[in-house]
Amino acid sequence: MNDTHQSEQLSDGIGQAVSRLQHQFLEAGDPSARRKLAVLRRAVNEDPGESPEVWQMVLEALPEKYIGRRDQPTAGEWAGHLALTLYAVHQRGNVRPVHVVGQSFGSAAGTLLRGRTESTKRTYDALLSATNFATRRHYLRALIGLMATDSTSSRAIGLDYGRLANDIYRLQFGKFRSSVLRTWGRDFYRAFSWAPERETEEVSTL
């Protein structure tokens, strides 16, 4: 089984878990969903496994092949933990869905930073140029926090958290890292440079 197929299964597992939680929170009005989101948010800066309740949610969402047998978290466990906790940060205070299937992180970041100051864009640039996983995690958390704030406005910036989990997984391996960052860069550019076409009115005179 190749790496692409495996990562697609990871994307499916995390995407389905986030979709269920989002539905329970926004549409079903389930009080337990609000509590789960709060628990996940508190764990965003923790390592996988530090919070027993979050660890259970991560393991339930992951396909079996990503669950480790040794003491240290696997790349898949890290990807699941970060995607679920970052979704909880993003959804906080928002009445619109922020898990949007098909919307890449690069596109969401480009939409977020369009029209913002150059200093804010440097956060995104720092994410791309980070040389280790801890630093990349830090800047990813910062950008998701900005998206959460902007999502309360009419812009409603969202992204696909299953796809993000897949990206986080692949970023932990040197052979995939450049591919992920190139895709983010292309999607970012398209969204960042987008501008609505001006509507022209044809004035006819009799």
pLDDT of amino acid 199: 38
Number of domains in the chain: 1
**How confident is the prediction for the chain on average, in pLDDT?**
89
Per-residue model confidence (pLDDT) at position 50 = 97
pLDDT at residue 6 greater than cutoff 80 = no
pLDDT tens, residue by residue, 23-40: 999 988 899 999 999 999
Residue 41 scores a pLDDT above 90:
yes
User: Residue 150 — pLDDT band, cuts 50, 70, 90?
Assistant: confident
Statement: residue 202 has pLDDT above 70: no
Q: Give a yes or no: residue 116 inside a domain.
A: yes
Give the mean pLDDT of 167-183: 96
Both structure tokens of 151 = 């999502």
Establish if 196 belongs to a structural domain. Answer: no
Residue 206 lies in a domain: no
Split at pLDDT 50, 70, 90, the class of 206 is very low
Give percent above pLDDT 90 in the chain.
75
Statement: residue 147 has pLDDT above 70: yes
Structural domain includes residue 157: yes
pLDDT digits (tens, 9 = 90+) for 88-121: 999 998 889 999 999 999 999 999 998 787 888 8
15 within some domain? yes
In a domain, 202, yes or no: no
Read off the pLDDT of residues 49-94 as tens digits, 9 standing for 90 and up: 999 999 999 999 999 999 999 999 999 999 999 999 999 999 998 8
Nearest in space to 84 (alpha carbons), one of 69, 67, 64, 98: 98
67: domain CATH number is: 1.10.520.40
Those residues with Cβ within 8 angstroms of residue 188's Cβ, 6 or more apart along the chain or in another chain: 106, 107, 109, 110, 113, 124
Q: Does any domain span residue 195?
A: no
Which structural domain, as residue segments, surrounds residue 137? 3-190
Asked if the structure places residue 63 within a domain, the reply is yes
What is the three-state SS of 41-85?
Answer: HHCCCCCCCCCHHHHHHHHHHCCHHHCCCCCCCCHHHHHHHHHHH
> Please, are residues 187 and 107 in contact by the beta-carbon 8 Å criterion?
yes
pTM score of the predicted model:
0.89
